[in-house]
Chain A
Amino acid sequence: MNIPNDNSFRDPCGFIFMRSENMLTRLIRPYYGRHYEQLFSSGLYDDLTGDGLLIPHLEIPVEQSDTEQYGDIYKLIQPEVIPLVSYPYEWSFSQLKAAALATLTIQKKALSKGMTLKDAPAHNIQFKGCQPLLIDSLSFEIYQPGDVWKAYGQFCRNFLGPLLLMNHDYRLSEIMLYEMDGAPLDLTSKLLPRGSWLSFGALLHIHLHAKALKVCKSGGSATAKRRNNSLNSLLGLIDSLESLISRLKWKIPATEWADYYNNNNYSANALSAKEQLVDSLLARLPAGMAWDFGANDGRFSELAARRGCYTVAMDIDPVAVENNFIRHRDSASMLPLRIDLRNPSPGNGWNGRERLSLFERGPADTGMALALIHHLAISNNVPFLKIAQCFASACKNLIIEFIPKSDSMVQKLLSSRQDIFSNYDQQTFEADFSKFFTIHAVNRVAGSERTIYLMKKIQD
């Protein structure tokens, strides 16, 4: 049975579905036709796709069988495919800020062409590498003079509120994981510090906005339905949001991993030898999707990106992800994401499938786990077998570094706790990983006690 994708069913104007294997298609209903025509006739589509702010698409012919299966169809379009869909709770501060500013730029351009954004959820913006773009071509409607911005509340819940909360305490970004339509404004208002009442933007768009929602909870009033908002008021609102968000600068907290490459036990020569070794192993693998687990600021992820892989650089540390995003701001092939491998993004939303879990978005062609195994096995008490099982579900090929107990970084982890890890040795590591992978290369990193393996997953 052909039904819309699990994450594309709320907007009655159309939906995404897989027309055949690997053929992502968006169906447009006839009553959206007028708005779709305006998107093109106004030049907005060309303008936005030219600036890389809207996903380009191709129109494809509607077959009789499509109409029989899906009912009335205005058009079928085939959008360009984003290599990996990510979610706001996986983004760093600057990623969310870039997505927010992209949304406001799109809205300004739309208004200049007689259109407006009818929705503004954060996940409608996706990243191609580090470049944000709108992936929902049906987000536009014709602007009616006098109308307000219907997506204003949604924008504040999805972008402005979370940005202000992250700026207060970065851990508050996790609200986005539990609240499907963004951080509720009354909660944001309560969580922000008192000083935020002195900022005109935060006062208006969060605190007074939350109060207005509370006062008007009882439903639509005649005032709300009246259309008497001038275009200048609407542009003023966008401008106010834009200047507030542009000025936001993340107060970067001191985190464990933010300065890793200045605080590890690698000598410059050993680090260079490790880079050459990893690069030579990557050269033996096909280019495709690479997931670098524990990527820090993306130093080794860059090697995969240079080898033609679309590289997702995952790290638990928000500052490391932030630095990686800033360093690769112009890249179209490197996507930094904040992922805690101990508790990776779950499937959530409707039916638990509206947002996919991390592993449902894989497997990657290549996985990289450098200087990571000791943190998983010793700091988190995960046996090698479980770690191997996890990587086997995440990737087809694996480049992994083994760090022996004698290494000073492992000794540091053991210094404050009892050593209960009698099985933490290279033989057990190889034996347990061999249950899921075949080992194709074993290389000692020159100038260190560490070993890097190339493994290929055993076919199921």
Chain B
Amino acid sequence: MIIAYIDPGTGSIILQIIAGGVVGTLFVIKLYWRRFKAMSARLLKFFSGRSKE
């Protein structure tokens, strides 16, 4: 059952659907970029640790 008691506003819904593609893509890129940076940092740490050995 839908229980929203406020009017979401047709314009707000349409804007979300249209803009969702853009902000959603940016969000996914940001997510993968963060993962890539974290992985690179881990690899860097790993290799710098090995070179010291």
Chain A residues with CB under 8 Å of chain B are 10-13, 31-32, 34-35, 118-119, 141, 144, 148-154, 156, 204, 208-209, 211-217, 219-221, 223-224, 226, 228-230, 232-237, 239-240
Contacts and interface: CB of A to CB of B under 8 A. Distances in A.
Nearest to A241: B23
A11 B16 contact: no
Contact of A224 (B3, B5, B10): B10
In terms of DSSP, what is the predominant structure of the interface of chain B? Answer: helix
Given A152-B16, A223-B14, A11 B5 contact: yes
Given A239-B23, A240-B26, 6 more contacts: A118-B3, A152-B8, A213-B11, A221-B10, A221-B14, A236-B27
Interface in B1-53: 1-6, 8-17, 19-28, 30
Contact of B24 (A152, A219, A236): A236
B6 A228 contact: no
A45 B14 CA distance: 31
Contact of B20 (A119, A214, A220, A236): A236
Nearest to B19: A204
A150 B15 contact: no
A31 B5 CA distance: 13
Contacts of B2: 141, 144
A300 B4 CA distance: 45
Nearest to A223: B14
B23 A31 contact: no
A42 to B, nearest CB: 17
Given A220-B10, A221-B10, A229 B3 contact: no
A228 B17 contact: yes
Contacts of A208: 15, 19
10 contacts: A35-B3, A148-B16, A152-B8, A153-B8, A153-B9, A209-B11, A219-B10, A223-B13, A229-B20, A233-B24
Given A212-B12, A221-B10, A224-B10, A230 B4 contact: no
